[in-house]
Amino acid sequence: GDGKPFISHPVAVAKMLAAAKMPEKVVAAGLLHDVLEDTPTRPAELVRRFGKQVASLVREVTEPDKRHSWEYRKRSYLRHLKKASRGALAISCADKLHNTASLLAAYRKVGPAVFDRFSRGVDRKVEYHREVCEAVRAAWPRCPFLSPLDRLLGRLEEVSREQIGREPREVEAKFLVMDPAIFRKLGKLKELGSFSLESRSLERQENRYLDTR
């Protein structure tokens, strides 16, 4: 949303890592940190071209496949950070630092419309970035990117509160259906529109508003 080509993001992350005197392989992995998520590149190719350590670091900061829901992918990523290496923690923190800086720059340029491209509201986006920040802090309190990330997240949280204050209030309801018979009955109800309803496994998703009258 800031008008810059996507490649500027991994380049910026790698520059941040280099400026913080991180090892060369961590800088290389920072430059490559999105390739498994956003390109057809396979882990074996990373091993062949850049070595096992770089490939391992990239895998550490790669979310589950986008077939899964946003919530599942983010929860899995946060769980993984608890046991990630310091190199991976640095990459993750630098990634979120540049994402937050880019988002604020886009907000200053185009205003609240920048948030329309997110599948979740800006408040959830900020909450997730804060959760990553705290996960890194718990695992590595002296990570050099924590302080600037804290500062930018504080500003983004202010923007989020301002934005939420301007928007109509909505109520989100989530229901967990464990009984297969009830789930089948729900599937027969009249559909009124679309929304996201997740099963516990997150492998099966229904997308319906249901008339329960």
Could you give the residue numbers annotated as active site?
37-38
- Cβ-Cβ contacts under 8 Å for 36 (sequence gap 6 or more): 42, 43, 46, 58, 59, 62
Measured in whole angstroms, the distance separating CA 100 from the mean position of its chain's CA atoms is 11
Q: HSE of 177 in the Cβ direction (CA atoms, 13 Å)? A: 16
User: What is the rounded CA–CA span in Å between residue 97 and residue 79?
Assistant: 19
- By DSSP bridging, strand 190-193 and strand 197-198 are unpaired
Q: Apex CA 160: angle with CA 135 and CA 3, to 5°?
A: 90
